Structure 1
Amino acid sequence: MADYSWVMVGEHRFLPAGYGYFPEVAALFAESERQPCLDGTDGESAIRCGYLASAHVLLERLHALGISPDRVRADLDTALGALAEQPPSDRLPHPIPSRAAFLDELRALLASDGASWDDKELFDRYLDLSTIIDGLRGHMEIRNLVRVLLECSPAQAPVGLDLYELDREGISADPHQPLAGQARSEQLAEVAQNASLLVLTEGSSDADLLELGMRVTHPHLIGFVNFMNFRLAPAERNVAALVKTVNAFIVAGVANRFVAIADNDTAGHDGLAKLTARQHPPSCRVLHYPPLGLLAAYPAVDPDTGLLTMTDVNGAAGALEMYFGRDVLTRDDGTLMPVHWGGLVPQLGRRQGALSPADKKAAQKQFRRKAAAAQAGNSAGDEDWDGIRAIIDAIVHAFD
């Protein structure tokens, strides 16, 4: 004989699960709603072991998860139709009631209390409804079916996950463990695991250009790595705005895995310094564009003499344009677009470097042309994609 967990609605129990429980149901409860496992009924709790809340509370949680009345209604209609198409059997009442008749019967049952169990007609109605509900379980998402039960019960009716029968030796599920919290954590982990990796950048240009580059260097990641779409709403476009977005995601408890990535320059490192020094939730990574060999010896205009010197500009002038490739950064005369130094950032003891505005604009335009040609199959085959490839690799492997 199996030992079952039950979904209790008022004084009625439904949805038996042999030798275990439905994690999706457990995840609807909070650990603060845990009821102690007792040897006998304590006279105050509707269940002797498990979790207990009210129909109203669980309905609001289901709605917050997107399990709406319209969704449930459509699922119930489909499931009842599937049961009605089955050949008549002793397992199910015949005929299968319509949705309206089924819900009316369920409301009447859930409005009754334990004192009515001497009523044979009511008990037979419970058996019929329980059999139908068990049949619906094979055709409906379990949380949709739970919502059907909750909508038909009084708002303040106690609703519980009864684990009492599992409180025995040899049962694989331990009812004394924090099952609700564990089930909810596993749900969130599944969201994080299956959702696309979200990438936050300093602004719309970086997002657009990185996505464009990824379509060339990592086309197999389209749909698996998504860049924040700044076109959907106006937003600030700088490293300070990136910090605000990361903090907002963390405070909101966003379950999706996300990577925040900023320029590998002085301003980027200064702007993210406090953020990178903190611990982050497992779903969050904060990065800079990785060091690049090309930038380890790159022409920069000496701020004192005005002369070009070969300088390691990693960490000081590594904006996205510097990762577009040597071919993009090379001018018509064969020289590389030089870095120009700005003001000193005292906290880091180094200057901020960047291409001139004209060179930056030209580099972006040339990169778009290069990417368009590559996607059209018109590449010469000798283009430099090392920088973009390094950035996308850093993003993909951020959680390694």
Structure 2
Amino acid sequence: MPAGGPDTGVALHYGRPAQEQRALEQGRGVVDLSQLGVLTVTGPDRLSWLNSLSSQLLLGLTPGVSGELLLLDPNGRIEHAAAVADDGERTWLVTEAGHVAGLAGFLDRMRFMLRVEVADVTDRTAVLGTYGDAWQALAAAPGHVLTWHDPWPTTAPGGTSYGPPDAEHPGRDLHPALSLVDRSRLVEAVDGSGLQLAGTWAWEALRVEAWRPRLGREVDDRAIPHELDWLRTAVHLDKGCYRGQETVARVYNLGRPPRRLVMLHLDGSEHVTPEPGERVLHGQRDVGAVTTVVRHTELGPVALAVVKRSLPEDAELTVGGIAAAQEVIVPSAGEAVGRPAERPGQELRRRPRP
């Protein structure tokens, strides 16, 4: 069955979504994610240049190290997100299909006189997703180029979290990876790995279980990293200037994110589930929107949603007439981990009048 939305072009499932999810989480499955876009950046200035543009510290990115970056607008809103890895000759960026052209265009406009070249290699590079140790089978398969290991939910150096500590996070044991392969050898790579094919249904179910934000689902034109707990892996709070940094520092130090990501447990007695974009209601009050909806083999129907920060954490909610209970990801208090004295941008704090 074909997938839709940002995953158009690949399979939602192959007839047994529950078995596919179990194979995936047990390290026996592989997902065709060849709808994703892939860019390369070459040239001796590539890492320092990307470092100056993005939210992440990339100067020490060495072969075998995986990270992710965000590109923000001047107001700190998320415009692009990408998985990032370097092989010693080029930096690889993996992003959503709907964003690859925009990301390539933005980077190309920002080259100026620097020694960098940006190329969209999606037409010759496909992406395969795995969990656990299954990536090793792809690394030995024909056409393998590089594997990116998702850092989520580990709090990266320079990052912080709004949600639970790493050791208590529901995504701590999942370990997803994206393997890049020669697109002309995609079928050969899958067959050669010996892994069971799974669809995006299974991939997304595990992502929701891990509270992992996704550019193509959780991000709208107002989203800032704090709302999605994305300071964990995609933002370095101590690096130099980049576009949107003032908002990142101001919200972290002085304020609270205006919205917050939650996981919703939906009433399983209903035989339907809401669609992404469905409004979340507290009584008659519109308090947010569902961003991702999945059926998980153990959790049942669940969703990620972005709601107003002021919404009480124990509020009774409905989505499309279906009862929903919150599981807190970003708390309504909006306090990130870390002592205020250790936070960057202390000069932004209000000083008492003499």
TM range (shorter): under 0.3
Higher relative contact order (Cα pairs below 8 Å, separated by 6+ residues): 2
Look at both structures and tell me which one has the larger radius of gyration over its CA atoms: 1
Structure with more helix by fraction: 1
Structure with more strand by fraction: 2
TM-score, normalising length from structure 2?
Answer: 0.23
